[in-house]
Amino acid sequence: GQPIGLVVQGGGMRGVYSLGVLAALEEMGFGSSFDHVAGSSAGAHNGAHFITGQARYGVETYSDYLSNRNFIDLMRTQKQADMDYLIDYLVRRVRPFHMSALIQASTVLHIALTDVQDATTHYVTTRTPGIDLWEAFRATAAMPILYNQFVRVGDRLYLDGSLSDCLPLQRVVDCGCRYIIVVLTKPLSFRSKRTSAPLRVLAWPATRHYSKPLKQALFDEDRNFNCTMSALEGNNGLIATESTRVLVIAPNDGANLVTCITTDAKRLRQCALQARVDAWRAFGQSPPPKDNPFRTDARI
């Protein structure tokens, strides 16, 4: 049959919403349904957890292990969002992620990275030879300003993949997918805007070593993203060809959403629960009642 794609939006701790949706898809039995999964930043991490059957387990990681100052602490003078803690300590030791299962899976994961020189998007996949995927995961989530370190993958330096491809929908279309589920972490009505002048001034010390294209990617309106969101909102048959069918799962109600730096465990849990409801509703169903739908011992 036709290849089926999944596109996952990230956004720091907002990723708890997209992972809550993926946990619901896992719960519905869609775990092995996709040929291609694409994401940047937290979206790539979440897509990986979904492919290995660890989406519910990953939601618990957000709410129980990232809801402290080890990961995000705005009072620190550097690495306020510490990707090294996340990669080297959390997902490799405390909350083990199954890298071997990801590499062996029939589903291909596409990870978007932003080249620090020209701010173009480079993709690495679970089929790319000679790549350290741990470093790719570090690079795609290397938030500007808050982590602010360039990460070497192969022979180039990269930063947060969402700077250049916040929603890699075209990537799965280019892979031949004609049925696609898109999971957003912001309402469909959201559009990217240019960063205000005062905020650009505040960010100057942290970004003065950035290339001009990288600064533009960080501060300017993201036109590609806005075009994609408009197309999705219009749901006009869509994207590359008329034969592409897209189901969008997005937050309807902003009340339970979190920000990219939320570390309140209760709010993170509520956001994931809202995501579960939204996912089931997208398929015209109500979620089966469970005390804690994300409780799992799935270290597999």
Burial label for 68, CB within 10 Å (0-12, 13-18, 19+), is exposed
| pLDDT of 274 higher than 50 | yes
Residue 4 to residues 60, 153, 181, 249: CA-CA distances in angstroms? 27, 28, 8, 16
The pLDDT value recorded for residue 253 is 79
Beta 108-115 vs 121-125: how paired, if at all? antiparallel
pLDDT of residue 244: 85
Mean pLDDT over the full length of the chain: 94
pLDDT single digits (tens) 61-87: 999 999 999 999 999 989 999 999 999
Interval 169-183: pLDDT, tens:
999 999 999 999 999
For 81, which DSSP code? Answer: B
Residue 127 has pLDDT above 60, yes or no: yes
Mean pLDDT, residues 92-107 taken together: 97
Domains of the chain, CATH where assigned: 4-282 (3.40.1090.10)
pTM above 0.75, yes or no: yes
User: Read out DSSP for 260-274?
Assistant: TT---HHHHHHHHHH
pLDDT at 235: 58
